[in-house]
Amino acid sequence: MSKTTIVVGLDGSEAGARALAFAKNQANQIGDCTIAICYVIEWSPFTFQTPEENEQRHKRREEELKLAHERVLDPAVKDTEAAGHDVVGIVQHGDAADILDAVAKKHNASQIVVGRVGARGIKERVFGGVTGRLAASASVPVTIIP
Amino acid sequence: MNKLFGTGLVATALSLPTLAAAQDAVSLDQRVNDIFAGSTGWFVNLIFMNLPGTNFPWIVLWLVVAASIFTIYFGFIQLRAFGHAISLVRGDYSDPNDAGEVSHFQALTTALSGTVGLGNIAGVAVAVGIGGPGATFWMILAGLLGMASKFTECTLGVKYRNEYADGSVSGGPMYYMTKGFKERGIPGGAFLAVVFAIFTIGGALGGGNMFQANQAHAQITQITGDFSGLITGVIFAAVVFMVIVGGIKSIAQVTEKVVPFMGILYVLAALVILIVNADQIGWAFGQIFAGAFTGLGVAGGFVGALIQGFKRAAFSNEAGVGSAAIAHSAVRTKEPVTEGVVSLLEPFIDTVVICTMTALVITISGTLVMDPATGNFILNEAGTSIQTVDGVSGVALTSAAFATGFSWFPYVLALAVILFAFSTMISWSYYGLKAWTYLFGEGKTKELIFKLIFCFFIIVGAAANLGAVIDFSDAMIFAMAVVNITALYFLMPIVKREMNSYFARLKSGEIVKHGH
């Protein structure tokens, strides 16, 4: 177990990749530091579903997890490991801001690093994007990479 | 069947341009109705047969006795576990590692969207129209007792569902009848399952389909003026076809999202009307309590109020019917009891909250005609139900009652009825399909045949008149309850064991809340 952990939020975008690069850089400076790479599949337990969607839900979830691992998380974990870092990879369903903070708490992280995603759509304007909500609610310092 | 289907479509096409053809269509409505009433009458009579020497249908006693037995057997689980149910729905006990699976909230709302609908709007109006405000009292009591029936069947539904290699699940009374009976070494489970599946298909086509189409059409004509039910039927059938056969999920998803808001809007509108008439709420409850035991001179007196209340509650919340057990089986919980506990909220929300709102609004609105001298209600000429302003009944009565508060409400209600009808049809098409595939096996062609039959019956339902449809719907749904409750009696010790084990572990701290 390393002295400290940096949690990085990935979303498969350019900004996410920049966040990971920043975290690696930080980890190098710290020395003994684990990087927890986290990919969140946006999901809420409070939506309304048809019976058929419910029946298929478990199968869809497995597919979503598999895709997230294949396309985003596993390559990122592999690269980071190859660069000589201590890495933890996490894929979870839920609200990105909540989960990143929960992961940070669980790993006793010193900071969370996320890429900035521009505010898109009316929902994000009203309720704030993931980065905004994370910055407002996180229990550890949050670094937002432009 | 196909011939009739073809004629219906042609008649619909012709009725649009010319009046003469429209009259043809009306007579066709009548013909469809006659065939329908003629072919289902015997079954309806059997289910609603009175107990010898009384005018009390045996089926109503069957449901109430079952709900009471479950209530006592499980030690008033509906009261003891009510708080825990809310806690479960909030996700307090959900393991974060299971995030992404169907949540308790989703299972609850999916099951609710199959029950909240016309029963709450039209069914309550029928109950209050015939049985008077006193029917509300019995409806609430039946709702509270029904929570225990729902708990029993949903716990079993999850415990004995089938899980397939691809991760999908199939569950419901058919599965607990076969597997549960086998486990206890009782013969006859497979037979019960087949009978239940046949009735479920009937219920899906009746209450879950024709009744919905019929009342949706009635509500539309209320606003547009009279036109052939075949037109509404064909349009409804086409949209349902697009969803269940065409796989156009977006329509279903939009409905599933709009329906809860319609439900909330409905309750809010009722609340506003009640608040505006706050001075009459006491009087309305007085009517409900007095009417419950005296009948206040309505058709059938006290027994009439009781029968109507119990009947409508059962039809609305479906407790003991077994349909919810199918809907709840989709949740991948380690503890079947948690689904049972969550499901006991359904009769509460459906009957104790929403139905009571409707009944109170109808009572307060003054649409039921009263004799100012005696304080009793005046019966219509036939003496079968209470006379109403403009002679309206069913959903039209609810509409008229809400219109006394908001003149524009009939338009909102029309939209709500159409959406409720639609979402109930989608839910029941699923229940019916599960019963169908249980009987005939899974397979694309087999499923398609059922879905086509389902769409065809939408047209029949919209064209037939209220009486024949409502009787058949009730009969089929109650027939499901006859088989289901029989099975529940045999399997309730299993539920009790599960329940005791679960609550013991909850108490000992083995089952803990997960922080958020």
The amino acid at A13: S
Residue B513 domain flag: no
Q: Chain A residue with minimal CA distance to B427?
A: A51
d(CA B96, CA A45): 11
Q: Which residues of chain A does B96 touch, with a Cβ-Cβ cutoff of 8 Å?
A: 92, 94, 102
Q: Do A49 and B169 touch (CB under 8 A)?
A: no
Of residues B278 and A124, which shows the higher confidence score? B278
d(CA B10, CA B32): 15
d(CA A33, CA A29): 9
Note the helical H segments in chain A.
14-30, 51-68, 74-82, 96-106, 121-127, 130-137
d(CA B337, CA B156): 8
Please report the pLDDT score of residue B469 as a whole number: 64
- Nearest beta carbon to residue A51 from set B100, B103, B110: B110
Q: Do B102 and A102 touch (CB under 8 A)?
A: no
**pTM here?**
0.86
Residue B11 domain flag: no
CB B170 within 8 A of CB B341: no
Strand partners, A144: A114
Q: Do A54 and B257 touch (CB under 8 A)?
A: no
Domain of residue B455, residue span: 111-508
| Residue B133 dihedral angles phi and psi, to the nearest 5° | -55, -30
Residue B199 domain flag: yes
Q: Domain count of chain A?
A: 1
A127 touching B (Cβ < 8 Å): no
Q: Domain count of chain B?
A: 1
Strand partners, A139: none
Q: What is chain B's pLDDT, residue by residue, as a tens digit (516 residues)?
A: 333 333 333 334 434 444 444 455 556 666 766 777 787 788 888 888 888 877 678 888 898 899 999 999 999 999 999 999 999 999 888 888 888 888 999 889 888 888 887 778 888 888 888 888 888 999 999 999 999 999 999 999 999 998 888 777 888 999 999 999 999 999 999 999 999 999 999 889 888 888 888 888 888 887 788 888 888 899 999 988 888 887 777 776 777 677 788 888 888 889 999 998 889 888 888 888 888 887 665 656 777 788 888 888 877 888 899 999 998 887 877 889 999 999 999 999 999 999 999 999 999 988 877 776 666 777 776 666 777 777 777 778 888 888 888 888 888 888 888 888 888 888 899 999 999 999 998 888 999 999 999 999 898 888 876 566 667 777 888 899 999 999 999 999 999 999 999 999 999 988 888 754
Q: Do B169 and A93 touch (CB under 8 A)?
A: no
State how beta strands A33-42 and A86-94 pair: parallel
CB B111 within 8 A of CB B387: no
User: Has residue A111 got a pLDDT over 70?
Assistant: yes
pLDDT digits (tens, 9 = 90+) for A9-51: 888 778 888 899 999 999 989 888 899 999 988 888 888 888 8
User: Has residue A96 got a pLDDT over 80?
Assistant: yes
State the number of CA atoms in the 13 A half-sphere of B505 facing the CB: 13
Q: Chain A residue with minimal CA distance to B258?
A: A48
Q: For the domain that residue B415 is a member of, what is the CATH number?
A: 1.20.1740.10
CB B300 within 8 A of CB B465: no
Residue B463 domain flag: yes
| Residue A10 dihedral angles phi and psi, to the nearest 5° | -110, 145
- Nearest beta carbon to residue A46 from set B105, B253, B331: B105
d(CA B194, CA B183): 18
d(CA B475, CA A1): 66
B interface mutation test: which of A39, A43, A46, A50 has the most B CBs within 10 A? A50
| Residue B154 dihedral angles phi and psi, to the nearest 5° | -75, -35
Interface of B with A (CB under 8 A): 91, 94, 96, 99-107, 109-110, 113-114, 166-170, 249, 252-253, 256-257, 259-260, 326-327, 330-332, 426-427, 430-431, 516
Q: Do A98 and B516 touch (CB under 8 A)?
A: yes
d(CA B459, CA B448): 17
State the number of CA atoms in the 13 A half-sphere of B274 facing the CB: 19
Q: Which residues of chain A does B158 touch, with a Cβ-Cβ cutoff of 8 Å?
A: none
Nearest to B119 by CA among B323, B302, B370: B323
CB B477 within 8 A of CB B207: yes
Residue B196 domain flag: yes
Q: Which two tokens stand for residue B109?
A: 């709302």
Classify each residue of B341-366 as buried b or exposed e, where b means 16 or more C-beta atoms within 10 Å of its C-beta.
bbbbbbbbbbbbbbbbbbbbbbbbbe
d(CA B493, CA B500): 10
Nearest to A22 by CA among A111, A101, A89: A111
Q: Which residues of chain A does B208 touch, with a Cβ-Cβ cutoff of 8 Å?
A: none
Q: For the domain that residue A20 is a member of, what is the CATH number?
A: 3.40.50.620
CB A111 within 8 A of CB A9: no
Spell out the residues 6+ positions from residue B366 whose beta carbon is closer than 8 angstroms to its own: B389, B404
Please report the pLDDT score of residue B375 as a whole number: 67
The amino acid at B96: P
d(CA B207, CA B473): 4
CB B255 within 8 A of CB B426: yes
The CA distance from B175 to the nearest CA of chain A, in Å, is 15
Nearest to B312 by CA among B112, B78, B466, B146: B146
Domain of residue A88, residue span: 4-145
Residue B28 domain flag: no
